[in-house]
Amino acid sequence: MSLLTIDGVWKNYHGHSVLRGIDLSVEAHEVVCLIGASGSGKSTLLRCVNLLETVDDGTIHLDGQEITDVRVDADDVRRRIGIVFQAFNLFPHMTVLDNITLAPRKVHGTGRERAEEEARELLGRFGLADKALAYPDRLSGGQQQRVAIIRALATRPRLMLLDEVTSALDPELVTEVLGIIRELKDTGMTMILTTHEMGFCREIADTVCFLDGGVLLERGTPEQVFTDPRQPRTREFLRSVLDARRL
């Protein structure tokens, strides 16, 4: 059974359909990369999986449970899913340590000492040991995003959603964030990520999905999608991305 199954999901905004019947299943330990132009529905799909948006049709199952059922406790579902946003969204009034331990302490009921110990261990693993007591505005964008990833990890999620996590970063800071994602893959974390970093996508993804106008046009291995795309629209998109790189 797949870890996550998305079945015929539709999402409308003001009479315009952003997602048009998306089907996608994600196995445990699989890394799925969503690519596509801005407005193709990638971020909306992630927000639907995390129940930050309600779907207008179709179903999403997590571990065999239908999470789009209106009777489901959304907080309980979100506890099993970690999400990281493009704009970090750290809590500015809390230290790095408090940002990370908030959910373990207040949602999962972990004691402060234990939560902080685990947080410090994660910070150490990702090279941020000396930033535990810093406030987010004292960190670089790359450091903030790494803290945001650790914050999501601290709740031991079954699934991580990464929404354009490097798009707001200076090029030299992208590398450190990509490093952390690579490490997550090595630990066997199941991830769905949206990105504009095609090289990274090709390297890390088990499956690449190309979204266009709310439709999942093409899915396959990175090898297949990048070297031999079946759809003309995919080919066009990849060519325009490569052209932009060259400029």
Nearest C-alpha neighbor of 193 from the set 31, 55, 47: 31
Residue with tokens 């601290």: 154
Nearest C-alpha neighbor of 50 from the set 219, 163, 217, 145: 163
Contact between 50 and another protein per CB under 8 A: yes
- Pick 28 or 102: Cβ nearer another protein: 102
Residues 6 or more apart whose CB falls under 8 angstroms from that of 237 comprise 35, 36, 37, 210, 212
Stretch that binds another protein, among 14-22, 37-45, 106-114, 220-228 (CB under 8 A): 106-114
Is 209 in contact with 40 (CB distance < 8 Å)? no
Rounded Cα–Cα distance for residues 210 and 194 (Å): 10
Q: Which of 83, 150, 193, 204 binds another protein (CB under 8 A)?
A: 83
Q: Which of 15, 64, 92, 109 binds another protein (CB under 8 A)?
A: 92
Nearest C-alpha neighbor of 42 from the set 220, 239, 221, 217: 217
How far CA 92 is from CA of 113, 134, 165, in Å, comes to 22, 10, 18
Q: How far is the CB of 94 from another protein (least distance, A)?
A: 8
Q: Which of 66, 69, 76, 117 binds another protein (CB under 8 A)?
A: 76
Contact between 93 and another protein per CB under 8 A: yes
Contact between 178 and another protein per CB under 8 A: no
Contact between 78 and another protein per CB under 8 A: yes
Contact between 15 and another protein per CB under 8 A: no
Give residues in contact with another protein (CB under 8 A).
50, 52, 74-76, 78-79, 81-83, 85, 87, 89-93, 102-103, 106-108, 137, 151-152, 155, 171-172, 175
